[in-house]
Amino acid sequence: MTATATLDARTLARRLAEAEATIQALLAGQIDAVVDSATRTPLLLSKAQQALRDERDRAQRYLDTPDVILLALDLEGRITLVNRYACVVLGWSHAQLLGRDWFDACLPAEQRAERKDAFHSILSGDLAAVDTVVRTKNGDERLIGWRHTLLRDEAGRVTGTFSAGADITDRARTAEALRIAEEHVQQGEKMEAIGRLAGGVAHDFNNLLTVILGNCELLQLDISPADPRHATLGEVAKAALSAVGLTRQLLAFSRKEIIEPGVFDLNEIVRDMRPMLERLIREDVSVILNLSPDDACVMVDRGQMEQILLNLAVNARDAMPKGGTLTIETSNTELDATNASRIGAKAPGVHVVLKVSDTGNGMTADVQSHLFEPFFTTKDVGQGTGLGLATVDGIVSRSGATISVQSAPGRGTSFTVHFPKVTRQGGPRTVTPSSTAVVGVHAETVLVVEDAAGLRDMTKRLLNRLGYTALIAANADEAMQSFERGTRIDILLTDVVMPGASGPELVTRLIETHPALKVVYMSGHMENDESIVHDGVLNPGIAFLRKPFSSEALGRKLREVLDRVG
């Protein structure tokens, strides 16, 4: 009896243990089927399980919606739920994030205190949408736009927050890029408007300056140099010349100036400019020229080349308020393909290098990045136009050259310009002064066609003074009449833009009846006339006199054309 009783007790214990194991396995979802005690057939649980699993998977899919960060925090700010996309953005795995303090794990240290305060506001009901920065595992920062809601238990007590976030970093960057692009477009439109304005103003301005300068010159010729009025007139002329410089600056900057490229030795230009540079620069700045022993021939417009030097020198002077050294160096260097593309040169080969250095204040990287922008200036109001370096940049790029700058605060600044080198013989045209005397008694008759009366009369007087017979016409029709009357005319000096027919149109008409007619065009700024200029460069064979001109320039240009053979 005892043995049986013992056996029963063991069996009972075993059965109980089995029952417990069965319940636990059921609870753990590890059971597939239960055997029906009546029919002895297994009843599959898997369908119900599958439905549960589907439900769970669906919920997970919602949670893992791409492009939305889902995050739940408890009252302490610990992460209680985080979805797959959040892990992708933050760079941490699900296991690494779950249970961690959100503020310690994912926010930049300097923002933790502030964001924790904000978290407490959210818990007390302030659910305003905010954008905040999160820090990813590899230290990147992302901008997230958040929407918050509160989690509550069955009794309605707040148990934490549930937040949805969108990564708006790229959107913010795109918006910023768009804003900068718009600024550039606006800047470009502004520049174009200024260019148009400058071109228009310069035309009239140059006519006026020619009259002022010409009359000054005529008066000075009548007055003895010992007369104090001679010097006074000199001052007037000097002021007018400054205005000429300013106009040219505006024109060069707005790319409305006609350029006459020729082959020049940069060394000669620098040497010729030295006296002027030294006048321009204060006594406490010493000028050192370090010029290459070989020639440094480049294809440039001489006036523009002088302007580059002038602007860089003035800039250097202003960077050295306490004095220093301005060094102008030239050299020849051979650029291989790699170096050529590094500095942005069009092609490899021998280049002439112009380097203008100062020992001044130097510049920060930020200032350097804006250096060539028009109207960017570090000088006080009224001290600089902000056009100097923008002009230099414009001229440099039009000359097929490149410019770069090396500078650091307190370590001075160097501007380096690379020009493609040319040989003297290779240039299409070089400017050679005429050997014939400019002033004297000349047999030729000049017809001046100019609509501006002051300029027309002044030019006539200058021509008379130079020893020419001068006729005048206010427009193309009057000029045609002079020819039709059979008056002998050796050379036509004509404005380009005039009311009625333009200068080039007049020439086209005259050339049919007077094929040997010689012509000099005069203008103050770039015309849109393809018969004279193309892309701002004077067409070959066209004689051109830039307004305003001196009597000497006028005389020289006339002789150059009149003495031309053929």
Partner 1 sequence: MGRALTGVPPKLMLRLYVAGTAPNSVQAIANAKAICDEHFALAYELEIVDLISHPHRALADGVIVTPTLIKLQPPPVDRVIGNLSDAGSVLLVLAGV
30 binding partner 1? (CB under 8 A): yes
Task: Residue 136: name the closest of 163, 106, 109 by CA.
Answer: 106
* Chain position carrying tokens 């097929």: 400
Q: What part of residues 49-108 is at the interface with partner 1 (CB under 8 A)? A: 49
**Amino acid, single-letter form, for residue 539:** N
Please choose, from the candidates 151, 134, 155, the residue with its C-alpha nearest in 3D space to the C-alpha of residue 143. 134
Binder of partner 1 out of 9, 12, 13, 21 (CB under 8 A): 21
Helix (H) / strand (E) containing 199: helix 169-222
- Tokens 């070089």 correspond to what residue? 430
Amino acid at 280: L
Cis, peptide link before residue 374, omega less than 30° from 0: no
- Residue number with CB closer to partner 1 (33 or 185): 33
Q: How far is the CB of 152 from partner 1 (least distance, A)?
A: 36
The answer to whether residue 181 forms part of the interface with partner 1 (CB under 8 A) is: no
Among positions 12, 16, 26, 177, the unique one binding partner 1 when judged by CB under 8 A = 26
Q: How many residues belong to the site for partner 1 (CB under 8 A)?
A: 23
State which amino acid sits at residue 530.
E
Q: Which residues contact 195 (CB under 8 A, 6 or more apart)?
A: 253, 254, 255, 256
Does position 48 bind partner 1 by CB under 8 A? no
Residues 457-496 that bind partner 1 (CB under 8 A): none
Contact status: 44 vs partner 1 (CB under 8 A): yes
Can residue 35 be called a binding residue for partner 1 (CB under 8 A)? yes
Which of 40-48, 135-143, 336-344, 410-418 is the region at the interface with partner 1 (rule: CB under 8 A)? 40-48
By CB under 8 A, tell whether 11 contacts partner 1: no
Cβ nearer to partner 1, comparing 44 with 193: 44
In Å, what is the CA distance from 406 to each residue of 355, 368, 414, 416, 557? 10, 9, 5, 8, 41
Q: How near is the Cβ of 48 to partner 1 at its closest, in Å?
A: 12
Choosing from 9, 16, 34, 175, the residue that interacts with partner 1 (CB under 8 A) is 34
The reply on whether position 323 binds partner 1 by CB under 8 A is: no
Distances (CA, A) of 465 to 290, 338, 444, 459, 504: 43, 58, 13, 10, 27
| 40 is a site residue for partner 1 (CB under 8 A) | yes
As a dihedral over the C-alpha atoms of residue 444, residue 448, residue 449, residue 450, rounded to 10 degrees, the angle is: 170
Query: Minimum distance from CB of 88 to partner 1 (Å)?
Result: 29
Q: How far is the CB of 7 from partner 1 (least distance, A)?
A: 13
Distance CA 412, CA 363 (A): 8
**Stretch binding partner 1 (CB under 8 A), from 18-26, 62-70, 461-469, 539-547:** 18-26
Q: How far apart are CA 302 and CA 28, in angstroms?
A: 92
Of the candidate residues 13, 25, 276, 350, the single one contacting partner 1 (CB under 8 A): 25
Please give the Cα distance from 143 to 133 (Å, whole number).
5
Contact pick of 1, 5, 28, 129 for partner 1 (by CB under 8 A): 28
CB atoms under 10 Å from CB of 349, counted, come to 13
Q: Report if residue 16 touches partner 1, rule: CB under 8 A.
A: no
Per CB under 8 A, residues contacting partner 1 are: 18, 21-22, 24-26, 28-35, 37, 39-42, 44-46, 49
